[in-house]
Structure 1
């Protein structure tokens, strides 16, 4: 058995039979085995084959072509993109060009529907302001005296005191200082907190000089005068405002201011 294994391997590696194993029962010529000499290179050392397992029956030999098989054709691959260098922006030349998409067609905006404006209601004309007080031409007053061309003296007091006014000592002395007497004047008592209208007095009186003892007595002189300062009003009417007669009777300083104003108005 060892001889048969050795003969098989030597034949497998060198394709030369070193030993011929005689089959059982076969008789060689001359009845003696003939050794076959095989040339063995001198430099080659005998290799001791390791013990091998029992051999399987040899398989059919597969025909192998003589040369190496041709390499299959590879599909053409595009050139590899250059490796980007860290910290360096890629070149625009290496970027693939892509066609910009066409912008969508511009559609004009739909016109907003025209909504008619609601009709504007006409604004009613502003009504004239309602007077909360009667006109100044209707301010009530009472009179004492009958000289239409005389001096007009305006006061505001109760009816009893007004009836006693022609006998007032202070008022009579004041008239004497300007060379007048009580019969030369017309006394008018304004019976309301509102002033009397000058136009109302002018319909009955033609006097050109008026003295007012008190505040808010004549409509055209309410905002244009100050105490003891004679002024010229409409229609060349001279007007002198003064304090109430009761205050003048007890205050000499006011009497002095009044006398100086009367000198400028009557004696200048």
Structure 2
């Protein structure tokens, strides 16, 4: 039976008998229409039988091809874009800005002077002139020009004043200060021993400049009494000043 099937299929596919079985050939019945119709049915039968003898196997999974690395491409450095020049543009002129006014320079600071140096001679050297010779008498100090000083012993006002305290011109020593500076009391005391001094004017005696007021007798160093008064020419014309002077002389000489 096996050999007969094999011979059938060989004849079916090739229409040629390749292998003949003796017994089967002799005893096999006649197949009427099957043999003639075999060629027409060959294709559908082959399509039905093919899967039995030639099964389609699944295709192997596709293996991805390894990536092909492209050769490095040299990249040119991109030059920075050049800005357009402003030289050819017609720009509006920039308005001028006025510069701020500079502050006025500070006035120069004068240098601080050093300790003032004494340029005037010491008061012990202040020049003066005298009239009279009574070293123990009353001292009268004035400041006037030499001509007037020489006429002073004959002054009516001065003589009446001395009479009021019971003195005469010969009892006094007249001193004329010949400088704007006062005379030093220490200088006068070297030649005069008087204990009472009247000053007719301002800034006449050094020790009495800042310590006295007009018509107020004071006691100076070495028990010397000093009476400041106005200038003689002012006293001669002013009754009120004469009264103040007389009251001061009473306290100094008659008390």
Per the normalisation by structure 1, the TM-score is 0.56
Aligned to 1:25: 15
| Distance of 2:189 and 2:155 partners within structure 1 | 26
Displacement after TM superposition at 1:24 (Å): 3.8
1:137 matched residue in structure 2: 124
Question: Which residue does the alignment assign to 2:186?
Answer: 199
Higher helix share: 2
Query: How many Å apart are 1:130 and its aligned residue?
Result: 3.8
Q: Within the alignment, does 1:151 sit opposite 2:138 as a pair?
A: yes
- Per-residue deviation at 1:63? 8.9
For 1:22, what is the secondary structure of its paired residue? helix
Distance across 1 between alignment mates of 2:126 and 2:59: 151
Unpaired segments ≥5 residues, structure 1: 1-19, 35-57, 65-126
1:184 maps to which of 171, 175, 191: 171
CA distance in 2, matches of 1:161, 1:199: 26
SS at match of 1:148: coil
In the alignment, is residue 218 of structure 1 matched against residue 205 of structure 2?
A: yes
SS where residue 23 of structure 1 aligns? helix
Deviant stretches of 4+, over 6 Å: none
Shift of 1:23: 1.5
Report how many aligned residue pairs link the two structures: 164
Which of 57, 60, 73 is the aligned partner of 1:61?
57
Q: Tell me, in whole angstroms, the C-alpha distance in 2 between the residues paired with 1:177 and 1:235.
A: 26
Following the alignment from structure 1 to structure 2, what is the Cα–Cα distance between the partners of residues 262 and 133?
34
Change (3 A) 1:31 1:211: farther
Q: Using a 3 Å threshold, how does the CA distance of structure 1 residues 24 and 260 change in structure 2: closer, same or farther?
A: same
Pairing partner for 2:154 from 146, 154, 167: 167
Aligned CA distance change for structure 1 residues 226 and 30 (closer, same or farther; 3 Å): farther
Structure 2 unaligned runs (5+)?
Answer: 1-8, 18-24, 36-53, 61-113
- In 2, distance between residues paired with 1:145 and 1:191? 17
State whether structure 2 residue 239 is matched by structure 1 residue 252: yes
Q: CA deviation at 1:62?
A: 5.1
1:188 is displaced (CA, Å) by 0.2
C-alpha distance in 1 between matches for 2:29 and 2:57: 36
| Cα RMSD, aligned residues only | 2.7
- What is the CA–CA distance in structure 1 between the aligned matches of 2:149 and 2:221, rounded to whole Å? 28
Structure 2 Cα separation of the partners of residues 205 and 235 of structure 1: 13
State the SS of the aligned residue for 2:174: strand
The superposition leaves residues 145-201 of structure 1 with CA deviations (integer Å, 9 ceiling, x where unpaired) of 110110000000011100000000000010111111111100000000000000000
